[in-house]
Chain A
Amino acid sequence: MVAQSVSNNIVLKRLKRLPFASSFWLQMLFILIFSLLLFGPIINLLIWTVTEVWYFPHALPTQWGLKYWHQVFNPYSDVSGSLLTSLLIAVLTVGVCLLVSVPAGYALSKRSMPLRVFWMLLFLIPQAFPNLTVYMNIARLFYGFGLNGTLLGVVLVHSVHGLMFSVWISVAAFSATDPLLERASRNLGAGSFYTFFHIVLPQAAPGIMASCIFVFLESLDEFTGTFFVGAPDITTLPLLLYSASMEGNYQIASITALILLVPSILFMVVIHKFMKPEMLAKLGK
């Protein structure tokens, strides 16, 4: 009797494991298809960067080579020029965002701030509306001021777009600082400016750095605003990618895309440890 129930138990356990085993392979199949769809476009891009000749109906390029890389990294090429423009715009945008969002973030981190929720929502608005129409009208507005096609105009457009990240992340960074340290410093006779720069700002520095990286990447990848405000005088990397691709020059477009990917991937590796879904669930609470 006992022996029978034991053997029954074993059979039952085997039976229970069976659907699990099949569901394991099902899930693995899901992962396989998912990763094919995920990596397919990326691999296609990589192949195009080292293609010299590729036409229908060949499955792979008929001639491989680095010819276009030499063309791209020629000091007189469009790519190196627009890479410099892109970097300059991104750095200036980070500067503008820092300048306005550090004070705003500090003020908004105080719970006693009147109308705090209203101000926070105000900075959220640029992300809550489709901004295509807005860029169109900014371009029209800037045209009147002579800002169209200037570096300043593009920097301003990128800054407004990045402001949401920089303000919200700065608020979080300043909220995490210890208010007792600030009060102690004031009690010991330090002025408000001295206290801010020597006590409060160093504590919030890591968060503010993170916001700078976000703004930098956003500015580097921005297309729509630059398309309306900057073109044709200012050519950033995304604009160059677009025009190369529209002309059918896929090699140049793919290499430009790869250059744009580098900062994103670097940032991804750095932030991978901090970017936990569990943390995102707490944002804004």
Chain B
Amino acid sequence: MQQKEAQKLWLIAPAALMVSLFFLYPLCFSLYSAVTLDGALTLSHLDKAFELYSKDMLFTVIIVLVSVMLLAILSISIAALITLSPFRSVVGILGFLYRLPLFIPFIVAAQMMRTFLAKNGLMNNAFVASGLMTPMDTISFLGWSGIIITFVWKQLAFSTLLISGAMAALDDAQIRAARNLGASRLRILFGIILPQIAPSLGVALVLSTVTMMSVLSVPMMIGTGTPTMISADMAFRVDSYGDYHVANALGLVSYLICAGLAWFYLRQSLKDKGAAA
């Protein structure tokens, strides 16, 4: 039996080795490089990162928070419509529509938005053509608002998929019982459905945050000018100066932003469990 288990370890070894060598090692190295200089511990890289990019860090946090909030509101409304709407046609159309951006690559979404949100993009042109605006009033959305729009546009499919999945897995009898007792649909949503799908909502939002912090193409293609997201700063630091220390210090900050959100989510779900027990 011992021998058999050793054999199984050999089967996993290549895959585990690949992840350790090409992910865990660079990950640890980035942390190490962020806080050391020639082997000695130092905070100078973090200091420098804060000195140069503190505005961008704040900007990144704001972009992530606004996107996450918009994602939560929109995906809950769409999933709730799919679950609770009495009209089959609404459910059918929405169920098909929201999934469309799921497999559209980020870089393609970025290119679409780069043309759509521009000063002479289709969005402004549509407003002008419908008489809502004159060509002189149009403004370009390329910048922080464009980054948020692109992130929400792309990630909405993923978070709605997770949330409507959680809603579909709920016990139907509860909803029917509440409805028989005279609860309105809105009341059912806030009183019965939302408390039960909170864990899925948390997972969807935390995973979306990690994705937003990893995507380089969107801030580089849409966030023209300053301030920008720290992911673009990292690429700039490496490409232009070869300055890995400050870039890794910025990376450390990006881990902390994700960890902060994950911590908030974990604390919230632990609190809920404590209240239930």
Q: Sort chain B's interface into a size bin.
A: 35 or more
Chain B residues with Cβ below 8 Å from A44 are 112, 115-116, 121-123
A130–B121 CB distance below 8 A: no
Q: Is the CB of B18 within 8 A of A163?
A: yes
Contacting residues, chain B, for A1 (C-beta < 8 A): none
Report if B192 contacts A (CB, 8 A).
no
B117 to A: closest C-beta gap in Å: 8
Shortest Cβ distance from A128 into B: residue: B210
Q: Is the CB of B125 within 8 A of A245?
A: no
| Contact present for B97 and A35 (CB under 8 Å) | yes
Residues from chain B with Cβ under 8 Å of A257 in the complex:
107-108, 111-112
In contact, B238 and A136 (Cβ under 8 angstroms): yes
Chain A binding surface SS class? helix
Within the complex, which residue of B77, B116, B128, B250 is in contact with A41, where a contact is CB–CB below 8 Å?
A: B116
A234 within 8 A of B: no
Given known A-B contacts A43-B122, A48-B115, A126 and B23 have beta carbons under 8 A apart: yes
Interface residues of B in 95-130 (CB under 8 A from A): 97-116, 119-123, 125-126, 128-129
Q: Which of B43-51, B174-182, B215-223, B268-276 contacts A (4 or more CB under 8 A)?
A: B215-223
Residues of A within 8 A of B119 (CB): 56
Q: Which residues of A contact B25 (CB under 8 A)?
A: 141
Q: How far is the CA of A42 from the CA of B101 in the complex (A)?
A: 10
Contact with B along A175-206 (1 / 0, CB 8 A): 00000000000000000000000000000000
Which of B23, B161, B164, B248 has the most A CB atoms < 10 Å from its CB? B23
Tell me the minimal C-beta distance from A16 to chain B in angstroms: 12
Q: Decide if A27 touches B85 in the complex (CB within 8 Å).
A: yes
Taking CB atoms and an 8 Å cut-off, the chain B residues in 80-105 that contact chain A are 81, 85-87, 90, 93-94, 97-105
A277 touches B11 (CB 8 A): no
Closest Cβ neighbor of A114 among chain B residues: B5
Write out the residue numbers on chain A whose beta carbons fall within 8 Å of the beta carbon of B126.
40, 59
Contacts between the two chains (Cβ within 8 Å), count: 257
A125 within 8 A of B: yes
9-residue interface stretch from A5-13, A64-72, A75-83, A95-103: A95-103
State whether the Cβ of B29 lies closer than 8 Å to any Cβ in chain A: yes
In the assembled complex, the CB of A65 is this many whole angstroms from the nearest CB of chain B, namely 18
Which residue from chain A places its CB closest to the CB of B212 in the assembled complex?
A130
Contact status B213-A277, CB under 8 Å:
no
Q: Is the CB of A278 within 8 A of B168?
A: yes
Say whether A55 contacts B120, CB under 8 Å. Answer: yes
Q: Which residues of A contact B20 (CB under 8 A)?
A: 122
Residue pair B105, A138 in contact (C-beta under 8 Å): no
Q: Mark B1-30, 1 if CB is under 8 A from A, else 0.
A: 000010011011011101110111111011
B161 touches A137 (CB 8 A): no
Q: Is B201 an interface residue (CB 8 A)?
A: no
Are A133 and B111 in contact, CB atoms less than 8 angstroms apart? no
Among the listed B5, B23, B103, B220, which residue makes an inter-chain contact with A134, where contact means beta carbons less than 8 Å apart? B23
Q: How far is the CA of A75 from the CA of B55 in the complex (A)?
A: 47
How far is it, in angstroms, between the C-alpha of A186 and the C-alpha of B62 when the chains are bound?
Answer: 60
A151 on interface, CB distance cutoff 8 Å = no
- Docked-complex contact A136 and B30, CB < 8 angstroms: yes
A128-163 CB contacts (< 8 Å) to partner B: 128-141, 156-157, 159-160, 163
Give B residues with C-beta under 8 Å from A: 5, 8-9, 11-12, 14-16, 18-20, 22-27, 29-30, 33, 77-78, 81, 85-87, 90, 93-94, 97-116, 119-123, 125-126, 128-129, 135, 153, 161-162, 164-166, 168-169, 200, 207, 210, 213-217, 220-221, 231, 234-235, 238, 244, 247-248, 250-252, 254-255, 258
